[in-house]
């Protein structure tokens, strides 16, 4: 049995392991003045940094949870190691060869369990990387080449190849002194009827490293058609690998994440590679699981994530329905970040890897730059389910989204999103939207709204009544323009019914003598209600106030046309507000041209004297 590590060696390990450098591998540290540093505590969840590091004394202490100690204690706590294991790990990093008081020098293979499993994974990673150059690995090299990756890129990320054999890695690890139990416990092999066999066979392999750079697991991509396993096979839960807290690429991205206060979350290993090679070196990914609470805690420490919202977390997802669902799941975790959260979705459904292959590095950077706030994405995704060209659709969309906005904690941000929602829905009534959001904030679900009853004093309804009166009593004064009005131009169903009868009778252009005209239309009325309204509008005096019939009809028709165009303009503005002018440029430009034309037409109707009917 090995003796204790010599005290002189322990002191040397402390001396060669600067506490701020070691702790900086696990969380972002910023200056706290006087040569000290601070960060978010890795041992409890907090919004403001209370974890302090004093390099001059080689100590750390958290004022929030009370933990503290030296660099060895930190590694013990963060990695769940014994004292000796923590010293051994730091010694390996610092290049210190340890001596033991009994038995002399003890090789690393006699270290603790974690150290042994870490070493086995490092040996396995080196073995897989060497196999990538063999003839058998040609499908793996072709896979990488087709995705725009060169040999140097594979070497940078440590990509390797697992031979299509049952015991290739088993034999190699045995030859390096590792036991079958260690291989199985580390997830490198699985127990078979005749002993352990390789977990990964005939696959391209990515080493998965912890934040300090140690290999703790692997992700393996299927290459062979005869492989009946899943497309991606990952290391299972082991004493050193916990997928709920592992972020692929974090060891490479952590320094830039801390410097730029930005992290880009992608969905796969090749997406991380593509982003890094394109210049987005803050890209990271989960390993076969969704982005969860433990990932958030790790990332917040790297971002120095505080409540001020200075950092950015950008999620990239495919443009398909699965990608949208993933984005909405991420939205649910938004409140756990102090940083601002965004979503970047490629409209054509390309992931960052495919995007880089087809359109180059700049396209990947443009994708990240095109990010939209996660709240906006969640809101827009939800309102897309409704027909916003109808009042009913607008109200249903409002009720679907109002609870989301009601859940925004910041009052100013909440109000701005409510104002934007009014524009995106095309309701054009900010107070209505704000009231609806406030109703949800009070905790009670508002009762469904019924269609409001028509106000007889509404100027637009009076305009419709007057126009119908002139069509029935003075049809010749309206000219052919009236007959071009669609039935849905009239807002009330009963008004639409009267207009439809007029059109069915030949329109005002086909009007005959008053007595015959009135009888014809009454005969065409589909109901007694419509017939009664025809009678009323045929005898009720127009409100011309001494203006000639021609002038009054001309003014009515011009005003009516202007109101219709105003509605069309509002609808177009609403649609434009829902479009992305960059990713949906063609549709956006087409609608913008339509909007300009409608605005010009509306201005002409404001001066009815200039019109020729």
Q: Residue 189: enclosing H or E segment and its boundaries?
A: strand 189-192
Can you tell me the distance from the alpha carbon of 105 to that of 436, in angstroms, rounded to the nearest whole number? 74
Give the pLDDT band of residue 612 (cuts 50, 70, 90): very low
Give the pLDDT band of residue 198 (cuts 50, 70, 90): very high
Q: Residue 151: enclosing H or E segment and its boundaries?
A: helix 151-157
% of the chain at pLDDT higher than 70:
87
Residues 6+ apart with CB under 8 A from 382: 397, 400, 401, 404
Strands 203-209 and 215-222: what pairing?
antiparallel
Query: Which of 468-488 are b and which e, b meaning 16 or more Cβ less than 10 Å from the residue's Cβ?
Result: bbbbbbbbebbbebbbebeee
Q: At what angle do helices 293-303 and 250-260 cross, to 10 degrees?
A: 50
CA neighbours within 13 Å on the CB side: how many for 358? 9
Q: At what angle do helices 83-94 and 7-15 cross, to 10 degrees?
A: 60
Q: Residue 247: enclosing H or E segment and its boundaries?
A: strand 247-248
> 184-191 — which CB contacts under 8 Å span 24+ positions?
185/113, 185/117, 185/238, 185/239, 186/117, 186/120, 186/121, 186/238, 186/239, 186/240, 187/217, 187/235, 187/236, 187/237, 187/238, 187/241, 188/120, 188/121, 188/124, 188/218, 188/235
What are the two backbone dihedrals, phi and then psi, of residue 24, each rounded to the nearest 5 degrees?
Answer: -65, -15
The stretch 519-540 carries a mean pLDDT of 88
Strands lying side by side in the sheet with 262-266 = 247-248, 283-286, 262-266, 312-317, 340-345, 372-373
The stretch 212-224 carries a mean pLDDT of 95
Instruction: Check pLDDT > 60 for residue 161.
Output: yes
Give the pLDDT band of residue 277 (cuts 50, 70, 90): very high
Can you tell me the distance from the alpha carbon of 72 to that of 52, in angstroms, rounded to the nearest whole number? 16
Give the pLDDT band of residue 356 (cuts 50, 70, 90): very high
Instruction: Check pLDDT > 50 for residue 433.
Output: yes
Instruction: Check pLDDT > 50 for residue 208.
Output: yes
% of the chain at pLDDT higher than 90:
43
Which pLDDT score, from 0 to 100, does residue 329 have?
Answer: 65
For 395-408, the three-class secondary structure string (H helix, E strand, C coil) is HHHHHHHHHHHHCC
Q: Are 50 and 64 in contact (CB under 8 A)?
A: yes
For 541-590, the three-class secondary structure string (H helix, E strand, C coil) is CCCCCCCCHHHHHHHHHHHHHHHHHHHHHHHHHHHHHHCCCCCCHHHHHH
Can you tell me the distance from the alpha carbon of 212 to that of 466, in angstroms, rounded to the nearest whole number? 79
Among 182, 77, 191, 202, which residue's Cα sits nearest to residue 122? Answer: 182
Can you tell me the distance from the alpha carbon of 454 to that of 476, in angstroms, rounded to the nearest whole number? 30
Can you tell me the distance from the alpha carbon of 501 to that of 516, in angstroms, rounded to the nearest whole number? 14
Which pLDDT score, from 0 to 100, does residue 148 have?
Answer: 96
Can you tell me the distance from the alpha carbon of 524 to that of 519, in angstroms, rounded to the nearest whole number? 9
- 594 exposure class (CB count in 10 Å sphere: 0-12, 13-18, 19+): middle
What are the two backbone dihedrals, phi and then psi, of residue 200, each rounded to the nearest 5 degrees?
Answer: -105, 125
Q: Residue 162: enclosing H or E segment and its boundaries?
A: strand 160-162
Q: Are 301 and 264 in contact (CB under 8 A)?
A: no
Neighbours of 573 (CB within 10 A): 17
Give the pLDDT band of residue 446 (cuts 50, 70, 90): low
Can you tell me the distance from the alpha carbon of 314 to that of 177, in angstroms, rounded to the nearest whole number? 44
Report pTM.
0.70
Residues 6+ apart with CB under 8 A from 146: 357
């Amino acid at each position: 049995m090995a003796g204790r590590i010599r005290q002189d060696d322990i002191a040397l390990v402390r001396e060669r392991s600067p506490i701020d450098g070691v702790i900086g591998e696990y969380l972002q540290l910023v200056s706290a003045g006087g040569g000290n540093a601070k960060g978010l505590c890795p041992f409890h969840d907090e919004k403001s940094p209370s974890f302090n590091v004093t390099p001059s004394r080689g100590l750390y202490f958290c004022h929030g949870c009370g933990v503290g100690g030296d660099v060895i204690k930190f590694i013990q706590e963060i990695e769940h190691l014994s004292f000796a294991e923590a010293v051994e790990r730091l010694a390996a990093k610092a290049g210190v060869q340890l001596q033991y008081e009994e038995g002399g020098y003890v090789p690393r293979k006699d270290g603790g369990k974690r150290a042994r499993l870490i070493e086995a994974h490092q040996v396995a990673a080196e073995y897989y990387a060497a196999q990538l150059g063999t003839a058998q690995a040609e499908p793996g090299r072709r896979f990488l080449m087709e995705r725009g990756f060169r040999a140097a890129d594979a070497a940078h990320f440590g990509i390797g190849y697992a031979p299509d054999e049952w015991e290739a890695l088993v034999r190699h690890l045995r030859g390096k002194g590792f036991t079958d139990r260690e291989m199985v416990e580390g997830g490198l092999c699985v127990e078979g009827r005749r002993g352990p066999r390789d977990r990964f066979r005939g696959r391209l392999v990515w080493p998965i490293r912890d934040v300090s750079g140690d290999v703790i697991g692997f992700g393996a991509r299927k290459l062979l058609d005869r492989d009946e396993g899943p497309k991606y096979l990952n290391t299972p839960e082991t004493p050193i690998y916990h997928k709920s807290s592992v972020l692929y690429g974090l060891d490479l991205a952590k320094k830039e994440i801390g410097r730029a206060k930005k992290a880009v979350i992608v969905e796969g290993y090749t997406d991380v590679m593509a982003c890094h090679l394109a210049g987005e070196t803050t890209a990271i990914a989960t390993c076969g699981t969704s982005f969860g609470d433990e990932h958030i805690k790790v990332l917040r420490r790297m971002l120095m994530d505080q409540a001020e919202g200075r950092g950015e977390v950008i999620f990239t997802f495919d443009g398909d329905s699965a990608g949208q669902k993933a984005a909405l799941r991420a939205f649910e975790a938004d409140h756990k970040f102090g940083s601002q959260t965004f979503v970047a979705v490629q409209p054509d459904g390309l992931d960052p890897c495919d995007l880089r292959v087809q359109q180059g590095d700049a396209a990947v950077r443009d994708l990240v730059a095109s990010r939209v706030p996660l709240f906006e994405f969640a809101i827009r995704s939800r309102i897309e389910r409704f027909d916003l060209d109808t009042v009913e659709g607008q109200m249903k969309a409002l009720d679907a989204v109002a609870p989301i906005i009601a859940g925004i904690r910041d009052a100013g941000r909440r109000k701005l999103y409510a104002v934007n929602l009014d524009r995106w829905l095309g309701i054009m009534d900010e107070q209505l939207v704000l009231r609806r959001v406030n109703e949800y904030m009070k905790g009670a679900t508002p009762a469904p709204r019924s269609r409001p009853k028509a106000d007889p004093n509404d100027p637009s309804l009076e305009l419709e009544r007057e126009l119908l009166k002139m069509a029935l009593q003075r049809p010749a004064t309206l000219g052919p323009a009236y007959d071009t009005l669609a039935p849905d131009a009239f807002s009330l169903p009963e008004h639409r019914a009267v207009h439809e009868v007029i059109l069915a009778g030949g329109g005002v252009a086909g009007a005959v003598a008053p007595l015959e005209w009135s009888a014809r239309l009454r005969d065409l009325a589909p109901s007694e209600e419509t017939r009664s309204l025809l009678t009323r509008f045929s005898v009720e005096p127009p409100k011309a106030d001494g203006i000639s019939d021609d002038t009054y009809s001309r003014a009515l028709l011009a005003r009516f046309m202007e109101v219709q165009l105003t509605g069309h303009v509002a609808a177009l503005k609403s649609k434009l507000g829902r479009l992305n002018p960059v990713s949906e440029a063609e549709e956006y430009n087409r609608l913008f041209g339509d909007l300009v034309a409608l605005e010009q037409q509306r201005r002409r109707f404001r001066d009815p004297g200039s019109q020729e009917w």
